[in-house]
Amino acid sequence: DAKTTQPNSMESNEEEPVHLPCNHSTISGTDYIHWYRQLPSQGPEYVIHGLTSNVNNRMASLAIAEDRKSSTLILHRATLRDAAVYYCILRDVNPGGYQKVTFGIGTKLQVIP
């Protein structure tokens, strides 16, 4: 499996944007970039995913480098409820197949009031 590298922790002030980086230099052409987050004592929840183009949804934006070797999850205005561990994961999605979601250490985001 292609691996990802994330900082162990980051801090952000409330209501400021947060940029969470992820490096995935060994990404393959069929790997989708997924982001999940896990709030304390809860199961992970899906945040966003993309392949090549930048993506936006109601939770966040995903900026993908042109060479796809890195990506950045952007929270436009951090709130205290965004304090969580954020996981950047690569999934190779082939038609008719699947790949289990394997978690790394992730980035623990602390939001300061």
Cβ(34)–Cβ(88) under 8 Å? yes
Verify binding: residue 46, another protein, rule CB under 8 A. Answer: yes
Q: Which stretch binds another protein (CB under 8 A): 16-24, 52-60, 66-74, 87-95?
A: 87-95
Q: How far is the CB of 16 from another protein (least distance, A)?
A: 26
Q: Which of 28, 30, 45, 69 binds another protein (CB under 8 A)?
A: 45
Q: Is residue 44 involved in binding another protein (CB under 8 A)? A: yes
Give the separation between CA 69 and CA 51, rounded to whole angstroms.
11
Q: Which of 29, 43, 53, 58 touches another protein by CB under 8 A? A: 43
Q: Does 41 bind another protein (CB under 8 A)?
A: yes
Strand order through the sheet with 9-13: 9-13, 107-112, 84-92, 31-38, 45-50
Q: Does 105 bind another protein (CB under 8 A)?
A: yes
Q: Rule CB under 8 A: is residue 9 a binding residue for another protein? A: no
Q: What is the DSSP string of 16-77?
A: S-EEEEEE-TT--TTEEEEEEEE-TTS--EEEEEESSS-EE-SS-EEEE-TTSSEEEEEESS
Q: What sign does the dihedral 110-104-6-59 (CA atoms) show? A: negative
Note whether 29 binds another protein by CB under 8 A. Answer: no
Provide the binding-site residues for another protein, judged by CB under 8 A: 32, 36, 38, 41-46, 87, 93-96, 98, 100-106
